[in-house]
Amino acid sequence: MQLGLIGYPIQHSRSPWIHQAFMKQIKLDGKYQLFQIEPDQFDQGIRQLQTLDLDGFNVTIPFKQRIIDYLDQIDHFAEAIGAVNTVVCEKGKWIGYNTDGLGYVLGIRSSYPDLFAGNKQVLLLGAGGASRGIYYALLQENFDRIDIANRTTARAQELLSINTSNLSSDVMTYQEAAQQLNQYDLIINTTSVGMQPNLDKQVIALDGIKQNTVVSDIVYQPFWTALLKDAKQKGARVHHGHEMLLYQGKIAFEKWTGHRIDAEKIMPDFLNSILAET
Ligand code: ATR
């Protein structure tokens, strides 16, 4: 199996670790290589990739939108989000998928299945690329409402256009969201706040949060973001960012190989590999 990743910069990517662990689990021979492409050399980089006999590859920042022009097919989920993170190469054809949002949902469902039992309210913090995929995936689930708060509210407003369900969503500022935090059962940070260089920052303070609420951060470096530390201190439940990373990889790998992966089994080693880097 010949797999890989395109993006820039990607030297610190966790994806080789993940896919090598998956190959080992099902005893499959193969390689997962990093193909770093400079953004201004994107076209040449892709032409070169087309000459390799790859079975599939992942796409990361900043190419998740640009890759779409080079695909033969795109699945409806990736098309609705407008971003592709996984390409399956099949008989010379490139087919694009997006496994980020579904990976997020698989992770949170496996840790907190009670959130999916109905009548729950979600607050999404951020309205960038990551938020789009997660919002779209959450819209397929059985929630009462999914509100979106963002620094730039116009961007959150744009996100509403991918909501073709009957589920209600309000757009608000962080300040407005902070005033009604006690209504949410799941609060998800999809912004880059909490990562370098904003290590000690969080987009919203968690005063007034319910005890049983799950606070989830897609930032995985550091493992304990300022937001998650605040959540823990306030007695809320927490969900860390590394899970989404592993599960988006699981869905991609299953598409490439047709084999089922037991991601739960790999999770402890994966967590150790993340913690070793912190
Ligand atoms: P990604 O594809 O990783 O989601 P992105 O599309 O650039 O990246 O989105 C980044 C998100 O983080 C956005 O919600 C952004 O808010 P704006 O839309 O208002 O720019 C948010 N973000 C980044 N830095 C931030 C900061 N310092 N304070 C608040 N929000 C921030």
State how beta strands 186-189 and 214-217 pair: parallel
Q: Evaluate: CB of 62 within 6 angstroms of ligand 1.
A: no
Summary mean pLDDT of the chain: 96
Interval 7-60: pLDDT, tens: 999 999 999 999 999 999 999 999 999 999 999 999 999 999 999 999 999 999
Q: Which residues contact 259 (CB under 8 A, 6 or more apart)?
A: 26, 28, 253
DSSP class of residue 200 equals T
Helix (H) or strand (E) holding 266: helix 263-277
**Is residue 108 in contact with ligand 1, taking CB distance under 6 Å?**
no
Question: Which one of 63, 159, 192, 204 would you pick to mutate in the ligand 1 pocket, going by the greatest count of ligand atoms within 8 A of its CB?
Answer: 192
Per-residue buried b or exposed e for 74-98, using 16+ beta carbons within 10 Å of the residue's own CB: bbebbebbbbbbbbbbeeeebbbbb
125 lines ligand 1 (CB under 6 A): no
Is 64 annotated as catalytic?
A: yes
Q: How far apart are CA 158 and CA 165, in angstroms?
A: 15
- For residue 131, pLDDT over 90 is answered with yes
Full set of structural domains in the chain with CATH: 2-98+243-275 (3.40.50.10860), 102-240 (3.40.50.720)
pTM of model > 0.85: yes
Cβ atoms of residues 97 and 75 within 8 Å: yes
The pLDDT tens digits for 212-257 are: 999 999 999 999 999 999 999 999 999 999 999 999 999 999 999 9
Structure tokens at 49: 């990739």
Contact 96, 74 (CB under 8 A): yes
Question: 24 C-alpha vs ligand 1 centroid, how far in Å?
Answer: 36
Q: Give the number of the atom of ligand 1 that is nearest the alpha carbon of residue 198.
A: 27
128 ligand 1 Cβ < 6 A:
yes
Any alpha helices (H) in 87-185, and if so which ranges? Answer: 100-111, 129-139, 153-159, 174-178
Q: What is the pLDDT of residue 102?
A: 97
Tell me which of 64, 120, 201, 234 is the catalytic residue. Answer: 64
Token duo for residue 250: 């699981």
